[in-house]
Amino acid sequence: MNDRDDGPDRDHTRPPGVSDTTVEALGALSKALETTERARGHLYSFHQLTGSADLELDRAVDLLRRAGHEQWAAEVLREILGRNVIPGHWTYQIVEAYDRSYYEPFRDLERRVRGELAEGRDHLYEAELKEARRTSGHPDHTALPDSGPPAAG
């Protein structure tokens, strides 16, 4: 392989006429979306943890009853088990509302911006950062992933 072949693929190469500032802006937009992806993951963690806690209440109610504390078991059932986490909402409804009103519009807008300004190419900022930081020709600094082990002959 010569140095000319040791560079990013077309999908990670800046299209002609795209400025440094545009690449930087697309990188910032991408980073903001990635942060939103992480926030969405935490929202799903909140959803699953709250659901697990609600299911564990079944065990708590049963144990309170077996220990002779029927009044406390009844209060847990009445006051907490199945309760809305915010008025009118269980956690799945919060996740759905977040997806509809924030996550999906953000994701769609980021795609449209990339489509218009960079021919839909993703991670241009990161690809250029990689090129600036790697040692060309070094086996552990290759521009592209290996295509896999050689085929048996």
pLDDT of residue 88: 96
Side-chain-facing half-sphere of 53: CA atoms under 13 Å: 13
Residue 31 lies inside a defined structural domain of this protein: yes
Q: Which residues of the chain have pLDDT under 70?
A: 1-5, 147-153
In terms of residue numbers, what domain contains 70? 20-132
Contact 40, 33 (CB under 8 A): no
pLDDT of residue 17: 95
Residue 102 lies inside a defined structural domain of this protein: yes
Residue 63 lies inside a defined structural domain of this protein: yes
Residue 139 lies inside a defined structural domain of this protein: no
pTM: 0.80
Residue 73 lies inside a defined structural domain of this protein: yes
Residue 53 lies inside a defined structural domain of this protein: yes
In the chain, how many domains are there? Answer: 1
Cβ count within 10 A of residue 91: 19
pLDDT of residue 7: 77
Residue 14 lies inside a defined structural domain of this protein: no
Residue 126 lies inside a defined structural domain of this protein: yes
